[in-house]
Amino acid sequence: MNISILGFGTVGRGVYEMIQAAPGMEARKVLVLPQECTESFMVTSIDEITSDAGTDTVVECMGGIHPAYEFASASLKAGKSFVTSNKALVANFGIELQALAEEKGVSFLFSAACGGGIPVLHNISVASQTDSILKCGGILNGTTNFILTKMQGEGKSYQDALFEAQKLGYAEKDPSADVSGLDTLRKVMLLSSVSFSVLPAEGLCREGIENFTSSVADYLSDEGRTLRLMGECGKGEKGIYAYVEPVAVKKTDVEASISSNINYAWYLGENSGLIGLSGQGAGRYPTASAVLRDLSAIMEGKKSMLGKDCVRGVADNSGKECRHTYLLCCDGRFEKTPELSVSDMHEMVRSMREKGSRVFFAQYR
């Protein structure tokens, strides 16, 4: 297997190194920006890779949607298998890329795009061959979990915890995709596409951790609870549901033990029951190890991990599968709601905020 790599950042370098050590795999070319082009194996134009007859597989580790999508399309059109760690790319263009891969008879895999080193997409893909996946989700963003751990474990303020995450390289300068829950939501979209053949693109309820404060942390601690940012999707009566919101878990729950930048993903199989997976959700070698797992799977003939005939869909979070009690903190006052659907709760909070209230809420289970 002869592999070219798009991008030579944290993950790309890890993939390059691991390929050197992997039997049956050879690294060909690496696409970099002109100012980074310092080695003979580096190229600066995607054409040098798509036209390279010696490259049979392309790994994309650039991130971002453009030009990643154009480069992915060009690679697949040139008949090369395509592996990516880019969740935004798959959440936005997974169906189109899968169609191109099928047309050309090559593979399209993206294990590293959800859960980093945790083999959750791989396991769901394998399990769904002989079992039916009912729902799945988890703690899928290490940055927010690090911030929550620092706030609740060490009493730091949101700003101090975020600053520490940035200093350690866990959070980006602009952390909005992480703290708003968007990163988690994209990973939930991928879970749904592999589990249910639906990539939900609308109707998604999303709440991050920007409104979590030390006073809420103290309140939860007194109640024997810990906050985690969690995503979930599943098969409901009215179709697929998918959402992201903070959850106040009991301190004895497995999610409470997932601290710092560790991720935890789970799925419920009709026969297997609940299977949980934990590990590094990001980082050079963990993420690269997931890419290598995909490369190895391609060598064994695996073509796809997106569910069969996957379609874009609308999530429905109003069903009976999506009803929870919530903790609501409005302008400093705490109360618990009766059971509400996810969509009703998110809608209610949006309306309260429009009227100027400062609102934090969390699923209380």
Q: Which residues are catalytic?
A: 187
- Binding to a second copy (CB under 8 A) within 80-119 occurs at 117-119
Does residue 244 bind a second copy (CB under 8 A)?
no
* Out of 52, 131, 160, 210, the residue judged to bind a second copy by CB under 8 A: 131
- For a second copy (CB under 8 A), the number of binding residues is 46
* Out of 4, 57, 84, 123, the residue judged to bind a second copy by CB under 8 A: 123
- CA 180 to CA 3: how far, in whole Å? 35
- CA 19 to CA 303: how far, in whole Å? 20
How near is the Cβ of 275 to a second copy at its closest, in Å? 4
Instruction: Tell me which amino acid residue 131 is.
Output: D
Nearer CB in complex with a second copy: 73/272: 272
Q: Which residues of 179-202 are buried (b: 16+ CB within 10 A; e: fewer)?
A: bbbbbbbbbbbbbbbbbbbbbbbe
CA dihedral 245, 251, 257, 262 (to 10 degrees): 20
* Out of 107, 125, 145, 289, the residue judged to bind a second copy by CB under 8 A: 289
Nearer CB in complex with a second copy: 184/226: 226
What crossing angle do the helices spanning 10-21 and 284-299 adopt, rounded to 10°?
Answer: 50
- CA 236 to CA 188: how far, in whole Å? 15
Nearer CB in complex with a second copy: 11/97: 11
Does residue 269 bind a second copy (CB under 8 A)?
yes
Stretch that binds a second copy, among 29-37, 84-92, 211-219, 268-276 (CB under 8 A): 268-276
Nearer CB in complex with a second copy: 94/117: 117
Does residue 247 bind a second copy (CB under 8 A)?
no
Instruction: Tell me which amino acid residue 85 is.
Output: S
Nearer CB in complex with a second copy: 120/204: 120
Nearer CB in complex with a second copy: 129/159: 129
Stretch that binds a second copy, among 171-179, 294-302, 343-351, 352-360 (CB under 8 A): 294-302
Stretch that binds a second copy, among 46-54, 96-104, 124-132, 138-146 (CB under 8 A): 124-132
* Out of 37, 99, 201, 254, the residue judged to bind a second copy by CB under 8 A: 254
Beta bridge partners of 239: 236
Is the peptide bond between 34 and the residue preceding it cis, with omega within 30 degrees of 0? no
Stretch that binds a second copy, among 2-10, 91-99, 123-131, 312-320 (CB under 8 A): 123-131
At 357 the three-state DSSP class reads coil
- CA 82 to CA 350: how far, in whole Å? 40
Q: Where are the alpha helices (DSSP H) in the chain?
A: 10-21, 47-50, 68-77, 87-104, 120-127, 142-154, 158-167, 176-179, 182-196, 214-222, 284-299, 342-354
* Out of 134, 275, 352, 359, the residue judged to bind a second copy by CB under 8 A: 275
- Binding to a second copy (CB under 8 A) within 21-40 occurs at 22
> What is the DSSP secondary structure assignment for residue 254, as one 8-state letter?
G
Does residue 14 bind a second copy (CB under 8 A)?
yes
Sort 296 into a burial class: Cβ within 10 Å, 0-12 / 13-18 / 19+: middle
- CA 80 to CA 52: how far, in whole Å? 10
| Interacting residues with a second copy (CB under 8 A) | 14, 18, 22, 117-119, 122-123, 126-127, 129-131, 251-254, 256-259, 269-280, 283, 285-286, 288-290, 292-293, 295-297, 300-301
